[in-house]
Structure 1
Amino acid sequence: MSRRTLKFGVLAVSAMGMGAMVTNPVLADIMKAFPDVDPTTIMLISGLPSLFVVFFAPVYGKLTQYLPKKTLLAIATLCFAVGGIMPAFLSNFTIILAMRCLLGVGLGFLLPMAADLISDFFDGHERETMMGFQSAFTSIGGIMYQLAGGFLGSYGWNYAFYAYIIGIIIFFAVHLTLPEPQRKVIPQGEKMKMPSRVYSSFFSLFVFQIILFILMNNAAVMLDGEKMGDAASIGVALTLMTVGGLIGGFFAGKVMRILKEYTFPILYLICGVGFGIGYTSYTLLQFFVATTIIGLSMGVFVPSCWVKLSVSVPPPLVALAISIGVSAMNIGGFFQPYIYAGISKLFGLQIGRDSFLVAVVASILMAVFVFIDSKTSRKASA
């Protein structure tokens, strides 16, 4: 098999990772279609898949010890397709939510699988570059699914769910082009523990996602509440974050090689700069610059973590380590509103602009934490 074909097969899996975003453009239409359902409950259409990723990403990590990864890909795609497409034919909102849970099961397998396959087939600088491309293709998938959901949703909210047919097409493309990687199993009778040094990476992923969701959950509040922009402007701001992630992903490998052990501290500082610009923004142009910078840091940060995890644990534990990392991120995103609510109550802060200041402080503190952690780990391994 040519390396180009192999790279296509591996990266195509990443394009399915943002499938939950299909419904974002049609949530308002779904609320109109179900007037008797509380709007907060309808918002679970977007939130439930992420919650199920938390529980099923580690399940994927465990199952790699027993099942071929192409079999796991087939199971994941079945859950993704059935859970994604079925709501197009349903009128019972409870069953629609159940299908979104099934979609979350599929995403719980697909998200760690995308990075895990790269660790199977690539090493060294090529692995770093491919992890960055994986992040970029995830961003491309997010843009692709949102555009498809918005276009199809213009014909009716239920039509948006037909966008998940893309996942079936991707599955056949991957299944036909990707070889089965050699299974890395734990020798019988031998016990392998996750090295203690990787727990700081899990914590870092957890906090980074909390910081990132401050933007996603407060951009609309700030722009609309302060009359800086309308719904279209908010959409542009969040799209620019995704575009920033796309650009960052393509250059992630080079950035890792240049910054080396300073990668994570500098990325947190760049993220803090982005939120600082957002906090001091009083024009849309300034805010757009802020979201793009935050997206750039995201596009490099996540693949850098996958690279770090893949070289920090024994080969049989790589899938599980990446799976736990995916869970840590989704836990952070799910609990971000509650964590910020506690902080705002403690310091008398408001939602909107104040949240950006919290993100600046959190980014600086995490930059210090990961810098100290890198120095401590380096001394321990010396």
Structure 2
Amino acid sequence: MSKGKLKFGVLAVSAMGMGAMVTNPVLADIMKAFPDIDPTTVMLISGLPSLFIVFFAPIYGKLTQYFPKKALLAFASLCFVLGGFLPAFMTHFTLILAMRCLLGVGLGFLMPMAADLISDFFDGHERQTMMGFQSAFTSIGGIMYQMAGGFLGSFGWNHAFYAYLLGVIIFLAVHFTLPEPQRKTAPQGEKLKMPGKVYPSFIALFAFQMILFILTNNAAVMLDGEKIADASSIGVALTLMTVGGLIGGFFAGKVMRVLKDYTFTLLFLLFGVGFGIGYTSYTLAQFFVATTLIGLAMGVLVPSYWVKLSVTVPPPLVALAISIGVSAMNIGGFVQPYVYDGVRKLFGLQIGRDSFLVAMIASLLMAVFVLTEAIVAKKGSLRDVSAR
């Protein structure tokens, strides 16, 4: 089939990966519709899908060894559409939460599937470029779903859930443009294990998402609390992060080829610079620069790790490795508020601005961590070459 159709089919899967964001613009309206439900519980509408991604992404990785990926795509799309769309007709809050869990199951399959399919169909520089495009299309999907949710939600909070019908169109487009990839299996009688050298990548993805969520969870607290910006301007700042991720994704392949082994070190340093600017920002324009830089680093870092995992593990384990990486990221995002709360109490810090200082220091420590890993890996490779 034509490379154009193949690329379209693979990238279209990425557009569904940020589907949980549909409800973000209408959370306040849902709180008003359910005044007897604690606001923290209502916020589970946004958070529950991420929790289910943690558990179901690795399940996807294991199932790829036994089932066709197009069948798994059909199952994931069904969970995505039903779990996303059915709350439009529900008035019982518990049922809505149950549907958000079903949505999380679908996303747990779809998020690693996007990068996994790229590793199936593309190699070398083309794989690097496509992984970057996958990150960009994920950002496009996030923008698309948030805008659709906000527009439809203006007619009533339950109308926002109609946005999930876009999943039907995307599924049909992917189903008819994407061939079934050849299943990769281990040689008969050989039991494959996950190489030990991939675990630092899982740690880095966990830390990256935990640091990133410091921005999304504390931007409004800082900007609104210090009277720097109102809600609409805060929304623009976070949108600029997504736009930065979109731009970074499109150039990720070139960045990987230029920076090579030091890609992750320089990206975590850029992450640190962005949070440093955020910490010292007392004007909205400065904060816009901070979120854009953080977004740029995000847009390159994630696809770079998918490329690294896809070439580090044996081909039959690529889907599982990427799935574990997705889970590690979602665990990092989920535990971030609790980890920062512990750090804040330990050092007597405040919520808001001080969190950006913590994120900057954590980013610089991660830059040292990934640099050390790169040096150790390089020495190990040289020893292997000498031994041969």
Q: TM-score, normalised by structure 1?
A: 1.00
Match in the other structure for 2:226:
226
- Secondary structure class of the residue paired with 2:71: helix
Distance 1:190 1:60 in 2: 22
Distance 1:135 1:369 in 2: 24
Match in the other structure for 2:276:
276
Match in the other structure for 1:195:
195
CA-to-partner distance for each residue in 1:157-176, whole Å, 9 max, x for gaps?
00000000011100000000
Q: CA deviation at 1:188?
A: 4.0
Question: Are residue 66 (structure 1) and residue 66 (structure 2) matched?
Answer: yes
CA-to-partner distance for each residue in 1:54-85, whole Å, 9 max, x for gaps?
00000000000000000000000000000000
Distance 1:86 1:231 in 2: 29
Match in the other structure for 2:326:
326
Following superposition, which runs of at least 4 residues in structure 1 exceed 4 angstroms of deviation?
none
Distance 1:285 1:305 in 2: 31
Residues 23-102 of structure 1 correspond to what in structure 2 (within 5 A)? Answer: 23-102=23-102
Distance 1:379 1:307 in 2: 21
Distance 1:166 1:379 in 2: 49
Residues 338-349 of structure 1 correspond to what in structure 2 (within 5 A)? Answer: 338-349=338-349
Q: CA deviation at 1:186?
A: 2.6
Report if aligned partners of 1:57, 1:108 keep a CA contact under 8 Å in 2. yes
Distance 2:273 2:10 in 1: 33
- Secondary structure class of the residue paired with 1:355: helix
Distance 1:114 1:276 in 2: 32
Distance 2:62 2:122 in 1: 21
Q: CA deviation at 1:258?
A: 0.4
Match in the other structure for 2:304:
304
> Which letter maps to 2:19?
G
Q: CA deviation at 1:379?
A: 1.2
Further displaced range: 184-193 or 363-372: 184-193
Match in the other structure for 1:213:
213
- Secondary structure class of the residue paired with 2:183: coil
Distance 2:311 2:375 in 1: 17
> Which letter maps to 2:167?
G
Match in the other structure for 1:243:
243
Distance 1:39 1:2 in 2: 50
Distance 2:189 2:46 in 1: 43
Distance 1:328 1:186 in 2: 25
CA-to-partner distance for each residue in 1:273-323, whole Å, 9 max, x for gaps?
000000000000000110000000000000000000000000000000000
Distance 1:80 1:122 in 2: 26
> Which letter maps to 2:267?
L
- Secondary structure class of the residue paired with 2:58: helix
List runs of 5+ in structure 2 lacking aligned partners: 383-388
Residues 133-148 of structure 1 correspond to what in structure 2 (within 5 A)? Answer: 133-148=133-148
List runs of 5+ in structure 1 lacking aligned partners: none
- Secondary structure class of the residue paired with 2:26: helix
Distance 2:223 2:40 in 1: 21
Distance 1:58 1:153 in 2: 33
Match in the other structure for 1:117:
117
Q: CA deviation at 1:135?
A: 0.0
Distance 1:70 1:84 in 2: 20
> Which letter maps to 1:193?
K
Report if aligned partners of 1:116, 1:318 keep a CA contact under 8 Å in 2. yes
CA-to-partner distance for each residue in 1:18-50, whole Å, 9 max, x for gaps?
000000000000000000000000000000000
Report if aligned partners of 1:65, 1:186 keep a CA contact under 8 Å in 2. no
> Which letter maps to 1:132?
G
Distance 1:186 1:102 in 2: 32
> Which letter maps to 1:39?
P
> Which letter maps to 1:97?
L
CA-to-partner distance for each residue in 1:319-374, whole Å, 9 max, x for gaps?
00000000000000000000000101110001100000001100110000100001
Match in the other structure for 1:372:
372
Distance 2:130 2:351 in 1: 38
Distance 2:43 2:234 in 1: 18
Distance 2:378 2:88 in 1: 53
Match in the other structure for 2:385:
none
Distance 1:114 1:233 in 2: 32
- Secondary structure class of the residue paired with 1:207: helix
CA-to-partner distance for each residue in 1:99-149, whole Å, 9 max, x for gaps?
000000000000000000000000000000000000000000000000000
Match in the other structure for 1:11:
11
Distance 1:83 1:243 in 2: 28
Q: CA deviation at 1:187?
A: 3.5
Distance 1:45 1:296 in 2: 28
Question: Are residue 288 (structure 1) and residue 288 (structure 2) matched?
Answer: yes
Distance 2:182 2:228 in 1: 54
What's the % identity of the aligned pairs? 81
- Secondary structure class of the residue paired with 1:335: helix
- Secondary structure class of the residue paired with 1:287: helix
Distance 1:138 1:200 in 2: 24
Give the RMSD, CA atoms, in angstroms.
0.5
Equivalenced residues, count:
382
